[in-house]
Amino acid sequence: MDICQTIKGLQSLSDVEIDKPSGLPRVVENQCLPDDLQLFYEKFGGVTLFPHAENTYRIVQPQEFKLANPILIADEELLELELNRGNTQLLFTSECYVLVDLGDANYIVIDLNKERHGLCYLGFWDSFGVIGETPIIAKSFKELLQKMIESEGEEVWFFEKEDFQDYGDAFIVAGVEEFDPDNID
């Protein structure tokens, strides 16, 4: 199924709120949106899937599509200090953007790094950027959108279902080593 068919499936849902197009998200220089995500934002300004269900997926509006680290790691001074110290975990997540708001300061983020372009991870407020706590839940926006639609707003998030199979931890798959502040060159 291609992204156009997935979008048609989205439009046919009875429990969905669709925002009018409001432009493309802005990203950092030398980064670009994956093609499937760009097509989505050309057609919609954001979408709330299953707003009347217990588990709502809200694909953020273009102006809310922002770098994840400053949102999920609220202490900006600590974030800057750790990035300057070469914290490999924070460097790894520095090209991730918030994409889906799950509520309670939890998100699904999308990676715009050239080597990991389009991978989607869980971005929870208490574990984002932690090795072993950042599962890859979709390899593309299209796959993520399909999984959210198929969930039909069930009581359990699609990524918490017993039969859900993630693609491994983002850090481990990429070979990122745990940052040791006592071992700085």
pTM given for the model: 0.88
- Domain of residue 41, residue span: 3-175
Q: Classify residue 73 by its DSSP letter.
A: S
Assigned domain for 184 exists = no
Q: How far is CA 67 from the centre of its chain?
A: 10
Tens digits of residue pLDDT in 40-84: 999 999 999 999 998 899 999 999 999 998 888 766 666 566 666
CA angle 134, 27, 170 (to 5 degrees): 15
pLDDT band of residue 32 (cuts 50, 70, 90) is very high
The structural domain count of the chain equals: 1
Residue 80 lies in a domain: yes
**If you search the block for the tokens 């574990």, which residue do you land on?**
127
CATH of the domain at 101: 3.40.1580.10
Q: What angle do CA 119, 167, 113 make, to 5 degrees?
A: 25
3-state SS of 7-61 is HHHHHCCCCEEEECCCCCCCCCCCCCCCHHHHHHHHHCCEEEECCCCCCCEEECC
Domain assignment present for residue 114? The answer is: yes
What whole-number distance in Å separates Cα of residue 68 and Cα of residue 100?
11
* CA-wise closest residue to 32 among 116, 113, 123, 93: 113
**Whole-angstrom distance, CA of residue 156 vs CA of residue 158:** 6
pLDDT digits 0-9 by tens, 115-150: 899 999 999 988 887 888 889 999 999 999 999 999
- Whole-number pLDDT of residue 85: 64
